[in-house]
Amino acid sequence: MKIEVTPMTEDWQPIEKIKYECQENFGEELDIEYEILQFRDHYIATGSTYANWNIRFRAWCRQSAKWSRERGTQKPTETISEQRSRISGVVDQRNGNTNSEEKGTRNSLQKGHIKAIT
């Protein structure tokens, strides 16, 4: 009998039993909703296939909790939207999209640099 394997999907969610087990066993160390997002993104990006994504998720949480204990860290202090906002700001800065105060300072520095060269 051949076991069917499937790829990860964008809308995958663990069944309630697995989510509850992970929350009960690792809730102090992990933000389960954050772990679901990380888990999905990782396996979509790698293209891995598994026969049972729920069991794989439980193992993911177990490993993540172990690493959290080893690092002495706990669940993230930022929400996902706060992380996205912070990352967006970094990307904007790298792309030259800054707020007006920073832009003025940068332009002054660039003009000073150009004067020094000419």
Statement to judge: residues 1 and 49 lie in one domain:
yes
| Interacting residues of 9 by C-beta distance below 8 A, sequence separation 6+ | 44
Please give the radius of gyration of the chain, using alpha carbons only, rounded to the nearest integer: 22
Statement to judge: residues 11 and 62 lie in one domain:
yes
Statement to judge: residues 25 and 46 lie in one domain:
yes
Q: Does residue 27 register a pLDDT over 70?
A: yes
Query: CA-to-CA distance for 103 and 93, rounded, in angstroms?
Result: 10
- Enclosing domain of residue 106: 78-118
Statement to judge: residues 84 and 106 lie in one domain:
yes
- Report which secondary-structure segment, H or E, holds 6: strand 6-7
Q: Which own/partner pairs from 102-109 qualify as long-range (CB within 8 Å, at least 24 positions apart)?
A: none
Q: What is the pTM of this model?
A: 0.59
Q: What tens digit of pLDDT does each residue of 29-78 get?
A: 889 999 999 999 999 999 999 999 999 999 999 999 999 888 875 555 56
Statement to judge: residues 85 and 55 lie in one domain:
no
Token reading at 14: 């663990």
Give me the number of domains the chain comprises: 2
